Structure 1
Amino acid sequence: MRVEIWSDIACPWCYIGKARFEQGLAAFAHADEVEVVHRSFELDPDRKRGDTAPVIDMLARKYGRTLDEARAMEEHVAANARAEGLGYRTEGRDHGSTFDIHRLLHLARARGRQDALLNLAYRANFAEERSVFDPEVLVALGVEAGLDEAEVRGVLADHSAYAEEVRADEREAAALGATGVPFFVFDRRYGVSGGQPAEVFTQALEQAWRGRALTPVGPADAPDAAACGPDGACDVPA
């Protein structure tokens, strides 16, 4: 079985949803027969390279909130992350273009290191004092994930490298009806949106394995869960 996950490194619910999905996968009897593929989805595709801003400022602007209200929103997301055992800094993080990160993730997939790089990028962005919008940080993350430094630098220097692969993922997401991330597709038969609880992912895996969901990909019966939309804004449920 193949599970495809559309996500963006800037999306906190993708970070949380990945951890919850992995918990759900661990409880699935056929976990060793599941291939997981991570696909690209930019929350802010029009943002230019080098155009970064503090996350708190971005949230305040997107939601029309005060800075204190934006900080409270971040604290709520942080509590969800920490409940999954994830580190989460609520201050000092940047928001920017994730296009280069997605291109590197496609290189990492070609080299069998995609999940390793994604985990490192999430950790750097949400838990550590490293900006994933700094090219040198991306080089360091790529090397740490097991990629060749020269190849990583070559991809970052050539803005066309893996660009079409990123755009193809995004077109496919649109064709499947994904309007936010994370978005999980099970064997192209069953879709689950948002950072659902782990048990929802286990149920989705079991249902897809039995082949009972034969309708086109779309929202599952699971209730809506927190997700980030194409305008860069992320739901923060009470």
Structure 2
Amino acid sequence: MRVEIWSDIACPWCYVGKARFEKGLAGFAHRDQVEVVHRSFELDPNRAKGDTEAVVDMLALKYGRTRDEALAMEENVASNARAEGLGYRTEGRDHGSTFDIHRLLHLARARGRQGELLDLAYRANFAEERSVFDSEVLLRLAVEAGLDETEARAVLADESAYADEVRADEREAAELGATGVPFFVFDRRYGLSGGQPAELFTQALEQAWQGRDDTPADPAASRSADTAPACDRDGSCEVPQH
């Protein structure tokens, strides 16, 4: 059974949602028979490469808040991340184009190292003092993930490399009705949006497993009605208040 996850490295709920999904998968009896594929979704596809800004400043401008209010928004997300055992820095992070990251993730998938690179990129972006919008940082992450340095450098230097694959993922997300991420599709039968609780992911896996011999359902039509925090195409991220 295959689970496809559309996400963006700039999305905090994708970071949290991945951890919750993995906990849900750990509670699924047939977890060893599940293939997980990560697909591309840019929250800010029109942002130029090299155009970066501080996350807190970006949030303050986008939502019309003071810097202190934007920082409080970040702290709310951080509390959710930390509850999942994830590191999260509320200041000192950048926001920028994630196109190069997605292209490298496609290379990593082709080389069987996609999960490793995604974990490293999430950790660098949300928990460490490393900007994933810097090509040299991306290259070092690729090597840490087990990719060949020369091959990874060539992909970063050629903006057409894996570009078609990124765009194809994004078109498919639109066809499936995804307007935000994370977006999970279980065996092309059921869709689930947002950083849901781990137990809901386990239930979705069980439902998809039990129905795997049936006629595939429409993932867009069968999306869960359960709401969960997510990030939309305009970059807006729902932040639960405590």
Under a length normalisation based on structure 1, what TM-score does the superposition of the two structures give? 0.98
In the TM superposition, what is the alpha-carbon distance from 1:168 to its structure 2 partner?
0.2
SS, match of residue 225 in structure 1: coil
Aligned residues: 238
SS, match of residue 232 in structure 2: coil
Q: Give matches, 1:1-150, under 5 Å.
A: 1-150=1-150
SS, match of residue 185 in structure 2: strand
Could you tell me how far apart the structure 1 residues matched to 2:196 and 2:204 are?
Answer: 11
Q: Does 1:221 align with 2:235?
A: no
Could you tell me how far apart the structure 1 residues matched to 2:13 and 2:235 are?
Answer: 12
In the TM superposition, what is the alpha-carbon distance from 1:221 to its structure 2 partner?
3.5
SS, match of residue 133 in structure 2: coil
Could you tell me how far apart the structure 2 residues matched to 1:45 and 1:145 are?
Answer: 25
Residue in 2 aligned with 1:167?
A: 167
Under a length normalisation based on structure 2, what TM-score does the superposition of the two structures give? 0.96
Identical aligned pairs, as a percentage?
79
Could you tell me how far apart the structure 1 residues matched to 2:67 and 2:215 are?
Answer: 44
Tell me, yes or no, if the aligned pair for 1:7 and 1:181 is still in contact at 8 Å.
yes
In the TM superposition, what is the alpha-carbon distance from 1:215 to its structure 2 partner?
3.4
Tell me, yes or no, if the aligned pair for 2:8 and 2:42 is still in contact at 8 Å.
yes
Superimposed CA distance per residue, residues 91-129 of structure 1 (whole angstroms, 9 cap, x where no aligned partner):
000000000000000000000000000000000000000
SS, match of residue 140 in structure 1: helix
Could you tell me how far apart the structure 2 residues matched to 1:15 and 1:178 are?
Answer: 17
Could you tell me how far apart the structure 2 residues matched to 1:124 and 1:156 are?
Answer: 18
CA RMSD of aligned residues (A): 1.1
Could you tell me how far apart the structure 1 residues matched to 2:209 and 2:101 are?
Answer: 32
Q: Give matches, 1:188-207, under 5 Å.
A: 188-207=188-207
SS, match of residue 184 in structure 1: strand
Tell me, yes or no, if the aligned pair for 2:188 and 2:217 is still in contact at 8 Å.
no
